[in-house]
Amino acid sequence: MTQSDIEQPVLVTDDGGVRTITLNRPAARNAVNLAMATAIDAALTEFDERRDLTVAVLTANGSTFCAGMDLKAFLAGERPLTPDRGFAGIAQKPPRKPIIAAVNGPAVAGGFELVLACDLIVADEAVFFALPEVQRGLVATGGGLLRLPSRIPYHLAMELALTGRRFPVDEAHRLGLINRVTAPGTAFSAALELAAEIAACGPLAVAATKQIVQQGPGWPAAEAFERQAEFAAPVRSSADAVEGARAFTEKRAPVWTGS
């Protein structure tokens, strides 16, 4: 890692259709300040715009995934929000394409909310989650209270929100919140393997599928298929759809262009 990398709040790399976004304030337990939020927002906005990128992985340097909002910056009057995406540059408006959280250390408060803003979660077996805002006289407004009740049973979500207690990975996995539990130090590599499976698929189809799975439960039943078609029809008429069918008949791997 170069001196320039050390000074960056977020590191971004791209490889094989996968964008890796790494929280890079390990000395501050990757607490989110405005610079980090702005960098995450920019990385996600470019990710959504790039045809050659299909899926992202969000991970962190250091022993803590993210300790939440930088309270020192908060006391100095700073708010780690961006106009379009909200807290941490993701909470209010996650990317259009899928993003995987590779949790390699504790994710608490806004750090847990970062994880919940992702579509898939891979976590080391020794980490834990928590929404301890109530213990500090605050309210978790980074999406945790909105997302958690739809991911785990209501009464348990309420308990975690009202007590702020730690939520260990084994409990989270048993309740279906976690996709993969890994040995310590291997969450990122496991997340990359999962990302590679997704990146091998048609990028337009992947993005449309995420939107349908995410938004579909809120659609009125009478409108569901019509709304689904709004996402699916452009994909069906794309060059990638033709390429997928041709590759299948020719028994070869497809070459996606994102068009």
Active site residues: 113, 133
Surface-to-core class of residue 223, CB atoms within 10 Å of its CB (0-12 exposed, 13-18 middle, 19+ buried): exposed
The two structure tokens encoding residue 240 = 């990638």
The two structure tokens encoding residue 29 = 């337990």
- Quickly tell me which residue has 């039943």 as its tokens: 221
Closest CA to 258 of 207, 212, 210: 207
Q: 147 CB contacts (<8 Å, ≥6 apart)? A: 113, 116, 117
Cα within 13 Å of Cα(72), Cβ side: 5
CA dist 157 and 160 (Å) reads 5
Strand spans (E) along the chain: 10-15, 18-23, 55-60, 81-82, 86-87, 99-103, 107-108, 120-124, 128-130, 167-168, 180-182
